Amino acid sequence: MVNGVRLANDAHGSASVRRSVSYLLNERAIFKRENLRLAEQARILFDLEYPVLRRLIGRRPGTLLDAGCGNGAYLARLARRFPHLAMVGIDRHPRLLAAARLHCPRATFLRCEITDRAQLTEVVAKQPPQVVLLRFVIQHMSADERALAFETLHRVLPARTKLIIIEPDPDTFATTPPSPAIQYLAARVSLITEARGADRRVVHHLPHALRAFSNLQQIARDTGSRALGWRNAARVHMPILATRITRDSSDFEATQLSAARRWIRQASKLRGSRLASSLIFTICERT
């Protein structure tokens, strides 16, 4: 590991691929917290994202592949709203996949690393997808992993497959009432994520990154806003902050942490307390 980033062998055996360590679930408590958070995130955010997804996915029968499906809570909601689609979920975390099979019994779940061409080729050969969803996934990848993932998708996906990439835009993050301390925490989480090899602002680099793959043609970008009341916002975002603060407490200024905790206590009692940000939908087609 170098500067918090894991080095791993590429397909040719050379230790040149920098791997992100920003999304590790190797501790029981962290996994339990994240498993609960993913379920809450799906419950709270799905209806905000569904109008855009309904327009993008359409009503044609086929298969949807959720790459980085997590615990399957989001895919279960997709399955209910798109009954004409067969659902396949892939993830690299076996414990999340075990939870996914409980959340969505009608879907097929497979352990697969999206950057591994052999693994993804096998998945696609079994059920060629018409739609591939990458939701809140590439922000956790290093630049090397993103390039590998796009290269794999570029080579493996059938022609005319639609690739939908959903990522938040952290630059639009705002609270009501305004809180410099919460903004500070969000900015620090982004910096810590970057130090661990990933990039929460990856949505801004996507158009440039995709241009390197001629068979993945970007056909549209769409923006969906999400404004959450504080109770729901806390369920989606506070577990992430709690994990970061517990694991990386020395990276946060004590005075800012105290101010953020005071704001959180006040926000929970104030009517109209909100957290708002934008989601960017990047839509590509395999030509």
Residue 77: what pLDDT? 98
Residue 182: what pLDDT? 87
Neighbours of 12 (CB within 10 A): 6
Residue 247: what pLDDT? 65
The CATH classification number of 6-286 equals 3.40.50.150
Does a cis peptide bond (omega within 30 degrees of 0) precede residue 177?
Answer: yes
Q: Running along the chain, 287 residues long, what does each successive block of 10 average in pLDDT?
A: 45 65 86 92 93 94 97 98 98 96 97 95 96 96 94 94 95 90 88 91 91 89 80 76 68 85 84 88 93
Residue found under tokens 């301390």 = 181
Residue 71: what pLDDT? 98
User: What residue spans define the domains of the chain?
Assistant: 6-286
Neighbours of 92 (CB within 10 A): 15
Rounded distance between C-alpha atoms, residue 275 and residue 227, angstroms:
6
Residue 250: what pLDDT? 72
pTM of structure: 0.90
Cα 151 from chain centroid (whole Å): 19
Strand intervals (E) in 117-273: 131-135, 162-176, 216-229
Rounded distance between C-alpha atoms, residue 30 and residue 25, angstroms:
6
